[in-house]
Amino acid sequence: MEYQTHDHDVLVIGAGGAGLRAAIEASAGGVSVGLVCKSLLGKAHTVMAEGGIAAALANVDDRDSWQVHFADTMRGGQYVNNWRMAELHAKEAPDRVRELEAWGAMFDRTKDGRILQRNFGGHRYPRLAHVGDRTGLEMIRTLQDHGIHQGIEVHMECTIVQLLVDDGRVVGAFGYERERGRFKLFRARALVLATGGIGRAFKITSNSWEYTGDGHTLAYDAGADLMDMEFVQFHPTGMIWPPSVRGILVTEGVRGEGGVLRNAAGRRFMFDDIPDNYRAQTADNEEEGWRYTQGDKTARRPPELLTRDHVSRCIVREIKEGRGSPHGGVFLDISWIKERLPHAAEHIKKKLPSMYHQFKQLADIDITREPMEVGPTTHYVMGGVRVDAETQMSTVPGLFAAGECAAGINGANRLGGNSLSDLLVFGKRAGEFAAAFARQAPKGAIDDREVDRAATEALAPFERGAGGEGPYQVQYALQELMQNMVGIVRNDADMRRALDCLEQFRERARRVGVGGHREYNPGWHAALDLHSLLTVSEAVTRSAIERRESRGGHFREDYPDKDPQFGAFNLIVRKTRDGGMEVSRAPIPPMRDELKTIIETIK
Ligand SMILES: Cc1cc2nc3c(=O)[nH]c(=O)nc-3n(C[C@H](O)[C@H](O)[C@H](O)COP(=O)(O)OP(=O)(O)OC[C@H]3O[C@@H](n4cnc5c(N)ncnc54)[C@H](O)[C@@H]3O)c2cc1C
């Protein structure tokens, strides 16, 4: 079989914030670096991030500190986070943001010229460094500008389909060019996975076509552990109308700027259900909530800024109990602030320019004058590759992971803004330690038969031809299944049925065929994505069956309460020798006393 070969010390798979930051750091470590991405450089998911980067810079509220950020992240994650990662993240995020600024990133500014920070759900103080609602674009632009001067070799529009392993350690990767269909073989001493999320396993999602759980699957197939796969985040506010835009994100920044949620009767229903562990931090009344959004340090946050898992469930309750909006969501209203602010329309357009254009162009709604209709959308996966907190190395030597495809920092639920800071903090660490690994690792041997097998498998859909079932039918059926059976509200019976269906879909995936040839063939790409989609869907379902409690993003109607026994471990997913999927429990190591005291004192 013919293929081009490329040699790098470190190969980074994925060019979002985590991949770019890892590549920059690995390159600074003096090794040769290759960077592969499925789409064009600069088009990764990170570019879509709107609200901002969470970092305790304390520019807007000097009561903020790494300790408060750490306590917020642990509370948000319902204490099953990898506490060491949460600690490193809270401590290092401010330096990573300042570094980005030094590399040329523009931020909105306070009156005295410092980086402005905004309120976001679950963060006690205004903490998100931002540029209007286009922060991800600025982050990618800056990292890309910085990265291209480091001598990183970029391989765009190339999808990796398999990692190559020699004697238990990864030594390379095999993939294809999306345009021409030609195969590529990458040899490397160390690899960093930075492939983002799994949102496309669900029907309603804010994620773009690229997020089919490839990195999770590549790691799992190479023998690495996955962790926390039951924890999928359903963001409370996605667009719901018109149907063609269903799922597109409406940033939490809208609520941070004073937007409120109302049901069909006009009631601010979020005041009706405030969890006990957030009661002390949450406003008692609408007036106090408004003052908080305007920077009054004596006020507590409005309940619209409770964590995403909770807000999503309250919205689902309103809809199920018949108090939803005409198209099956609830109302999110920022236009009401005209009652409080002079020039409110200009203010909204300045703070939320993308939201203004998104609704105007896609739904013909002027958000400065009327409410939006919103509902939950699959947004983020807390679960991913199990990594060491300091180095980001997985359980397979030489294989590192960072960003959304790695697990640990977020526990059962991620706070908004904590992803962009995660990418910078742990992207840097992954790059640094991958370079260190590569410097001392000998070149591994590539098994040609393994490469040939991967190529034959990739071409199998052509052998079967276009006569049989197409890949999209299987993909749609899987997305429908995951949305309905393993979605926001779960139960044992549905999930067991889902497992049976997934097995049938696997059979169907083995039979799908495509026509045409390897050049510009999206049907072929969709056929190859099915393996990842099926693997992550099974991992989510098996883990969700095993966690017989409700915690964070994982809600079981048959076990609606949190069970302290389940708070003592994470769930691990591993491939068995015979190719089956096994779920086991890994006890959470005891937290250092100093960190326990922080959590106990910052209530
Ligand atoms: C609309 C939206 C708004 C958001 N807003 C915020 C926010 O304000 N703050 C915040 O903290 N978080 C936000 N998030 C979440 C955050 O943007 C993501 O979690 C984060 O950007 C993920 O970054 P990453 O580097 O891990 O991966 P990504 O940016 O998702 O990049 C993944 C890369 O991997 C590549 N890739 C994938 N599979 C393969 C393969 N098989 N072979 C080769 N390459 C591959 C892709 O092409 C891409 O280059 C938002 C998410 C969305 C969707």
**Closest by CA position to 299, among listed 285, 310, 278:** 285
Q: Which of 21, 118, 187, 255 is catalytic?
A: 255
Ligand 1 atom nearest to CA at 422: 11
Largest CA distance in the chain: 70
Residue 1 has pLDDT above 80, yes or no: no
The string of pLDDT tens digits covering residues 484-494 is 999 999 999 99
What tokens does 72 get? 């917020």
Q: What's the pLDDT at 148?
A: 86
Q: What's the 3-state SS for 466-532?
A: CCCCCHHHHHHHHHHHHHHHCCCCECHHHHHHHHHHHHHHHHHHHHCCCCCCCCCCHHHHHHHHHHH
Ligand 1 atom nearest to CA at 423: 25
Q: What share of the chain is helix, strand, coil (3-state, %, to 5)?
A: 40, 20, 40
Ligand 1 mutation target, pool 419, 531, 533, 536, most atoms within 8 A of CB: 419
Establish whether residue 206 lines the binding site of ligand 1, counting it when its CB lies within 6 angstroms of any ligand atom.
yes
Establish whether residue 14 lines the binding site of ligand 1, counting it when its CB lies within 6 angstroms of any ligand atom.
yes
The answer to whether residue 235 is catalytic is yes
Q: Which residue ranges does the chain devote to CATH 1.20.58.100?
A: 462-569
Ligand 1 atom nearest to CA at 161: 41
* Average pLDDT estimate for 77-101: 98
Quote the ligand 1 centre to 211 CA distance (angstroms).
8
Residue 364 has pLDDT above 90, yes or no: yes
* Average pLDDT estimate for 461-472: 92
Helix axes 344-351, 353-363, angle to 10 degrees: 100
Ligand 1 atom nearest to CA at 199: 53
Residue 147 has pLDDT above 80, yes or no: yes
CA angle, 385 as apex, 383 and 388 as ends, to 5°? Answer: 115
Give the Cα separation of 80 and 540 in Å (integer): 17
Query: What are the C-alpha distances in Å from 425 to residues 86, 102, 233, 308, 402?
Result: 11, 16, 21, 23, 9
Side-chain half-sphere of 429: how many Cα atoms within 13 Å?
A: 23
Establish whether residue 311 lines the binding site of ligand 1, counting it when its CB lies within 6 angstroms of any ligand atom.
no
Residue 338 has pLDDT above 80, yes or no: yes
Which pLDDT band holds residue 603 (cuts at 50, 70, 90)?
A: confident
The answer to whether residue 453 is catalytic is no
Establish whether residue 135 lines the binding site of ligand 1, counting it when its CB lies within 6 angstroms of any ligand atom.
yes
Which pLDDT band holds residue 16 (cuts at 50, 70, 90)?
A: very high
Return the percentage of the chain with pLDDT > 70, whole number.
Answer: 100
* Average pLDDT estimate for 391-418: 97
**Which CATH fold would you assign to the domain 236-378?**
Flavocytochrome C3; Chain A, domain 1 (3.90.700)
Establish whether residue 22 lines the binding site of ligand 1, counting it when its CB lies within 6 angstroms of any ligand atom.
no
Establish whether residue 89 lines the binding site of ligand 1, counting it when its CB lies within 6 angstroms of any ligand atom.
no
Quote the ligand 1 centre to 11 CA distance (angstroms).
18
* DSSP string for 348-402: HHHH-HHHHHHHHHHH---TTTSPEEEEEEEEEES-EE---TTT-B-SSTTEEE-
Q: What's the pLDDT at 149?
A: 87
Establish whether residue 358 lines the binding site of ligand 1, counting it when its CB lies within 6 angstroms of any ligand atom.
no
Establish whether residue 533 lines the binding site of ligand 1, counting it when its CB lies within 6 angstroms of any ligand atom.
no
Residue nearest to atom 12 of ligand 1 (CA): 419
Which pLDDT band holds residue 473 (cuts at 50, 70, 90)?
A: very high
Q: Which residue ranges does the chain devote to CATH 3.90.700.10?
A: 236-378
**Closest by CA position to 140, among listed 51, 213, 49:** 49
The string of pLDDT tens digits covering residues 184-242 is 999 999 999 999 999 999 999 999 999 999 999 999 999 999 999 999 999 999 999 99
Burial 43-78 (b: 16+ CB within 10 A, else e): bbbbbbbbbbbbbbbbbbbeebbbbbbbbbbbbbbb
How would CATH label the architecture of 462-569?
Up-down Bundle (1.20)
